[in-house]
Amino acid sequence: MTARNESDTFDIGGDLTVHRLGYGALRITGENVIGEPDDVENAKRVLQTAVSLGVDFIDTADSYGPGVSERLIREALSPYADDLVIATKGGLVRNREGDWIKRGDPDSLRNAHLCSLDRLGVDVIDLYQYHRVDPDVDFETSVAALAELKDEGEIRHLGLSNVSLDQLETAREIVDVATVQNQYNLGNRESEDVLDVCESEGIGFIPWFPLGAGDLGEKAADLTAVADAHDASMYQIALAWLLQHSPVILPIPGTSSVAHLKENVAASQIELSNEEKRRLTE
């Protein structure tokens, strides 16, 4: 990455400055996000390469593995660089059968947080996110439990994931919300209303599935044309569009390949014309 400038960085919570293109560490786990990857050393090499390329924002979760992604981050990157921001999540449990189980009660969230501290090898988590709303637990109760952890100095900033606009507004009445992580990409903009509020309030918006797993719907043809004009891949253009669509967007493309990682990082240097942005947006 080139030297930081106003357009390619964002201050999470107002004080954690990161390059806006981060890395999502889901794919360094085993198949179906369970267990260790086939090549553990390659997974560590991907993480180390990301940091060497200037990536200073890594997103993970306790359910990735489960626990594997957080542990590999510590093994590959600890002791951490002073400017490296690691975000993780709690509230969604992953069992060995591959089920995702929501756990938003205060005791579960506190226990998940403690386990993440241990696996990551840190005393405080930079950004801790409520992974997925548990319909069996009052939403305000879950958020209040995390707000207590923030008040106690156990987490620096609080984020939400997979929330509606109403849930975001409810949470903001309880605690300062630093980020929102919702599914969002060129082909899926159902969270546009949430993004609008994030932009107006200076809240970071972290789009998961930023490349839509390669499925970007009716925009595929437009992407191909723009990509050809830049001698880039359509996925690089999709990332460039995200970065230029809103100054609060923090894409976290994930990969288990060093080569693919380098392509993703290079996308931050692509400048789309106004006409190209219009073509992709409309």
The structure tokens listed for 26 are 């889901």
Q: Is it the case that residue 4 has pLDDT exceeding 90?
A: no
C-alpha span between 55 and 35 (Å, rounded): 25
C-alpha span between 74 and 79 (Å, rounded): 8
The structure tokens listed for 121 are 């090898």
Does the predicted TM-score (pTM) go above 0.85?
Answer: yes
pLDDT, position 213: 59
**Residue 270's pLDDT band (cuts 50, 70, 90):** very high
Q: Is it the case that residue 189 has pLDDT exceeding 50?
A: yes
Q: What are the tens digits of pLDDT across the range 23-70?
A: 999 999 999 999 999 999 999 999 999 999 999 999 999 999 999 999
Q: What are the tens digits of pLDDT across the range 90-132?
A: 999 988 788 999 999 999 999 999 999 999 999 999 999 999 9
Place of tokens 């106690």: 152
Q: What are the tens digits of pLDDT across the range 70-90?
A: 999 999 999 999 999 999 999
Query: What contacts 34, CB < 8 A, 6 or more positions away?
Result: 65, 66, 94, 96, 98
- Phi, psi dihedral angles at 133 (to 5 degrees): -60, 130
Place of tokens 């159902």: 190
Query: What contacts 52, CB < 8 A, 6 or more positions away?
Result: none
What amino acid is encoded at 233 in this protein?
A: S
Query: 9-215+249-254 has which CATH code?
Result: 3.20.20.100
- Distances in whole angstroms, Cα of residue 184 to Cα of each of 61, 83, 169: 18, 27, 19
Please answer whether residues 250 and 22 qualify as being in contact, where contact means their C-beta atoms are separated by less than 8 angstroms.
Answer: yes
Q: Is it the case that residue 2 has pLDDT exceeding 70?
A: no
As a whole number, the mean pLDDT across the chain is 94
pLDDT, position 101: 96
Query: What contacts 152, CB < 8 A, 6 or more positions away?
Result: none
pLDDT, position 1: 38
pLDDT, position 6: 42
Q: Is it the case that residue 247 has pLDDT exceeding 80?
A: yes
Residues with a catalytic annotation lie at 64
Q: How many CA atoms lie within 13 A of 270 on its CB side?
A: 28
C-alpha span between 242 and 229 (Å, rounded): 18
Please answer whether residues 210 and 252 qualify as being in contact, where contact means their C-beta atoms are separated by less than 8 angstroms.
Answer: yes
pLDDT, position 169: 98
Question: Looking at residues 215-223, what average pLDDT do you find?
Answer: 77
**Which is higher by pLDDT, 217 or 2?**
217
